[in-house]
Amino acid sequence: MGHTLAVLVENRPGVLTRISGLISRRAFNIESIAAGYTEDKDMTRITIVVREDDDQQVQQLVDQLAKLVDVIRIVDHTHIDSLERELVLIKVKAIPEKRSDIVDIVDIFRANIVDVNRETMVIELSGGQSKTDALCEVLTDYGIIEIVRTGKVIISRGPLPAKAL
């Protein structure tokens, strides 16, 4: 499986470009990358899912990223007890006869319907990757129009922040 890295960076212009540029330049494979503000207004947190099995290679990526001036700390969550979530919005065909079926499915997955019109619905789901994959698969039969995913974010269980791990 992959490794999930939490990268804490200075909130400076161009920092995302530097991170993503380094990853592609050094020929690493990335599954997803998600960035957002944090509890500290000067700090951005970037969650990167690396498609790489070789631990040595992941360490190399961590070491290269750590050299960037803007990078404060990198935590590899692979061996840390953590919660991971991804938000998915799915626009699916929903003709009146099929609507109740879809509502049932949405309930089973504890997802939400956030928009409905005569022909389609938008479903919102947050959860781990296997859950979102499963929902997407079930909905395929009804006709998926588009899917948008935020990419994975991760946080450790227990009292400590990533900075202190």
Q: Enumerate binding residues for other proteins (CB under 8 A).
A: 10, 13-14, 17-18, 21-22, 25, 56, 59-60, 63-64, 66-73, 163
Question: Quick check: helix, strand or coil at residue 86?
Answer: strand
Distance CA 122, CA 146 (A): 9
- Reported for 127-132, long-range contacts at CB under 8 A and 24+ positions apart, including other chains, are 127/85, 127/86, 128/84, 128/85, 128/86, 129/84, 129/86, 132/86, 132/88
> Considering the complex, what minimum distance in angstroms separates the CB of residue 48 from other proteins?
16
Output 56 or 117, the one with its CB closest to other proteins.
Answer: 56
Output 21 or 128, the one with its CB closest to other proteins.
Answer: 21
> Considering the complex, what minimum distance in angstroms separates the CB of residue 81 from other proteins?
21
> Considering the complex, what minimum distance in angstroms separates the CB of residue 78 from other proteins?
17
Distance CA 53, CA 89 (A): 29
Output 88 or 162, the one with its CB closest to other proteins.
Answer: 162
Output 15 or 123, the one with its CB closest to other proteins.
Answer: 15
Calculate the dihedral angle through the C-alpha atoms of 38, 43, 44, 49, rounding to the nearest 10 degrees. Answer: -100
> Considering the complex, what minimum distance in angstroms separates the CB of residue 149 from other proteins?
28
